[in-house]
Amino acid sequence: MVNTAVIVFPGSNCDRDLLTTFEALGSKKPHLVWHADTRLPDGIDVIGLPGGFSYGDYLRSGAIAARSPIMHEVIKAAQRGVYILGICNGFQILTESGLLPGTLLRNKYLKFICKEVHLKPVNTNTAFTKNYNQSKLITLPVAHHDGNYFTDDATLKTLQDNDQIAFRYCNEEGVIGDTGNPNGSLYNIAGILSTNKRILGMMPHPERACDPLTTGVDGIGLFKSLLAV
Amino acid sequence: MKAKIYITLKNGVLDPQGQATQVALGHLGFGDISNVRQGKFIELELGEKDQKKAERIVSDICEKLLANTVVENYRFELIATHK
């Protein structure tokens, strides 16, 4: 069983969901780590950056959290090859910290969006996605105001060439395009990977789709493969 | 030294909030308005009294925190204050 840590920032509100999901699907008892700590526990295999409204989204979503003391250690852990999963505000923190390229802008149609979306897993060759199938869409909930992924043309090409795009929004027929894209994100991107494929940032919430009582169970595949590394 | 910092979106970055503001101006009867883009204004004071050093500090602050240089530009003015 792997060792996991969930980082908690002031204003994070999905830390408990991520913690219970980690624990239910293959982690030893997960560590909750406070943003102002200057050390991670020893031997962490997987770090989770949870969703929420860290620092009230002040200045820019995730901007201040990305400059928290603990993030120096998270960046060092990334350099050692520790797996990192950033969900929603966690994805924003990953881009603001430079661990992933690009940025998340205000949703194109300006509304806070809270609904189920369909995704195509476009790279199923990673620890996060190998339980998924490229021809089968998954359904996960989103809840965000700033989920519109953006980067420059050169970086987009790099992401495409290096298979760094993990998930793209699609409609209920599995067709990737504007109709399935809730927030106007570039190239319908819902989640991207680092160059070494050990860091995933995604706007949808897989931890909210791991229990038949909630949105469904399409999130289970991600955690089962990630927590078996 | 007082710094007045202006953070603006780079050209070509979609600004739906600016567009919404423009629509609202239309509703208020201001018809001939175009290209509304919104940004941020931040003021701060620094103890550094040397103009050149203060410029470097404020640039650093903008690069490291106040502006997301993927999508934002920044410019600033420095005003000497008398304490």
Which residues have CB under 8 Å from B9's CB, separation 6+? B15, B18, B37, B38, B39, B71, B72, B73
Residue A128 φ/ψ, nearest 5 degrees:
-85, -30
Respond yes or no: is residue A96 known to be catalytic: no
Rounded Cα–Cα distance for residues A94 and A84 (Å): 9
Rounded Cα–Cα distance for residues A137 and A132 (Å): 9
pTM for the structure as a whole: 0.94
Respond yes or no: is residue A210 known to be catalytic: no
Partners of residue B16 in chain A, C-beta under 8 Å = 106-110, 184
Rounded Cα–Cα distance for residues A203 and A51 (Å): 9
Respond yes or no: is residue A116 known to be catalytic: no
Rounded Cα–Cα distance for residues A137 and A160 (Å): 19
Residue B69 φ/ψ, nearest 5 degrees:
-70, -5
Residue B83 has pLDDT above 70, yes or no: no
Half-sphere exposure of A175 (CA within 13 A, CB side): 4
Q: In chain A, which stretches have pLDDT less than 50?
A: none
The pLDDT of residue B31: 86
The average confidence (pLDDT) of chain A is 97
**Per-residue model confidence as pLDDT tens digits over A24-58:** 999 999 999 999 999 999 999 999 999 999 999 99
Contact status of A92 with chain B (Cβ, < 8 Å): no
